[in-house]
Amino acid sequence: MGKFWALLFLLVPLLGTGLFLVALDADNRPLLNHWFPRDVSAYGHVIDGLFMTILWLTGIVFIATEVTLAWFIWRYDAQTNPDPPKFTHGSHNLEVIWTILPAAILLFIAIYQLNAWAETRIRAPADPGLEVEVTARQFEWRLRYPGADGKFDTADDLYTVNDLHVPLEEDILVQLKSEDVLHSFFLPNLRVKQDAVPGMKIPLWFRPTATGSFDLVCAELCGWGHYKMKGRLTVQSREDFDRWRGQLRNAQNKTHLSEDSDEHDG
Ligand SMILES: [Cu+2]
């Protein structure tokens, strides 16, 4: 019976490793697209590289511990070892080794990730091509663009809901706010994920490297309608973006004239 359990436990690292290898190709890129959605961000490879490094580290530890576990079950099966077990009182050397080794690995990760963190969270672009204000609320994304004057809080600010447009190959600076509860601004294709916290304005940035339409979702369980809190990110050329913004401006001016109101009900 012990041998059966040993083989069953051995299946865990075997299947785990199998899936891991199937999901990767030679360049550590997803073969079956299991790990990541398409990366369309200038910083994306930094995040992905960090993820893969940590996955390899934890993967090796995982296989080593699982194989050891299976071997112990096999070796010390009660049926083939009739003698009573002998107890030991620990090994000082082993204790030192398995304390220092994980500490060294954690220290390595802490130092290794410094640059990724600085790049994506500390060194904000000095001269962003576009600044957008994103306000999360149950259950939608409210977006505000500066008008022709390039400044917020003026009469020509432009508003949309769940429809984020940005120009290609420019640094986009987002000022993230929340109107009610915790939300999380998540652009999977740009490797951007940031909590939106009530009472705070949090800057984040990215630089899209491909045109197209991508998901904008909320990654924080924020209430009954969390599942439908999703928008679109449209990355387009500078010309297309300016055209889109012009149309938005015209539409908004018309609404102002006909309703004689400056309320913005998404
Ligand atoms: Cu939400």
For residue 149, the domain's CATH number is 2.60.40.420
Burial 206-220 (b: 16+ CB within 10 A, else e): bbbeeeeebebbbbb
Taking the centre of ligand 1 as the mean of its atom positions, its distance from the CA of residue 186, in whole angstroms, is 10
Taking the centre of ligand 1 as the mean of its atom positions, its distance from the CA of residue 217, in whole angstroms, is 8
pLDDT digits (tens, 9 = 90+) for 128-171: 989 999 999 999 999 999 887 778 888 888 999 999 999 999 99
Position 266 confidence tier, pLDDT thresholds 50, 70, 90: very low
Rounded to a whole number, what is the distance in angstroms from the first to the last CA of the chain? Answer: 65
State whether residue 22 is helix, strand or coil: helix
In a domain, 61, yes or no: yes
Contacts of 227 (CB under 8 A, 6+ apart): none
**In sequence order, what are the beta bridge partners of 136?**
141, 178
* Helix H or strand E segment including 196: strand 192-196
Taking the centre of ligand 1 as the mean of its atom positions, its distance from the CA of residue 197, in whole angstroms, is 11
In a domain, 266, yes or no: no
In a domain, 264, yes or no: no
Amino acid at 213: S
Report the relative pairing of strands 230-236 and 163-167 from DSSP bridges.
parallel
Taking the centre of ligand 1 as the mean of its atom positions, its distance from the CA of residue 224, in whole angstroms, is 10
**In sequence order, what are the beta bridge partners of 185?**
194, 218
Taking the centre of ligand 1 as the mean of its atom positions, its distance from the CA of residue 184, in whole angstroms, is 6
In the block, residue with structure tokens 């299946």: 11
Indicate the residue among 64, 92, 121 that finishes a domain: 121
Taking the centre of ligand 1 as the mean of its atom positions, its distance from the CA of residue 216, in whole angstroms, is 11
State the pLDDT at residue 27.
59
Q: Which domain holds residue 214?
A: 127-259
For residue 83, the domain's CATH number is 1.10.287.90
pLDDT digits (tens, 9 = 90+) for 179-213: 999 999 999 999 999 999 999 999 999 999 999 99
Pick the range with the lowest mean pLDDT from 10-24, 181-195, 252-266.
252-266
